[in-house]
Amino acid sequence: MKVSRFCLGCMSYGSKAWQEWVKDEEESLHLIGKAYEAGINFFDTADVYSNGESERVLGKAIKKFNMPRSRIVIATKVYFVSNDKHPSMELFIDVNKENIHVNAFGLSRKHIFDAVDASLKRLGVDYIDLYQIHRFDP
């Protein structure tokens, strides 16, 4: 497979509830479709972008535009808490104050396994090409 020189970053696709500058689903789908038409087949997202909505929208675009899974590259990331309990862009949540279990974020084996399963489900695919650590886990 030939990977496009450019990668479409999907941080700004998903839900305005996360950040006001994020494109809504309809506009996101349009932009992803145009990028694919232009030859971009490498897409980068993260479980934390719009609390998973970015991955879900990318998955919807893959289906809508009939992108053959074997012809695209999907990159996503792991580290932060990603759930609808935290709709804003609070990347550095005080886990003690919020009573969030240690395995709900970071790079523990359990969180990585749980996060990859959740990403696969949101993306609607059976594998991820590039799984990245979003930040150092002290």
Q: Is 49 a catalytic residue?
A: yes
The one catalytic residue among 13, 49, 79, 127: 49
Token couple for 30 = 């349009």
Give the contacts of 24 (CB within 8 A, at least 6 positions apart). 15, 16
Sheet of 73-78, strand order: 8-9, 42-44, 73-78, 130-133
State the Cα–Cα distance between residues 132 and 17, nearest whole angstrom.
25
Q: What are the C-alpha distances in Å from 77 to residues 83, 106, 108?
A: 15, 11, 14
Q: Which two tokens stand for residue 70?
A: 């074997």
DSSP conformation class of 102: G
Any idea which residues carry the catalytic annotation? 49
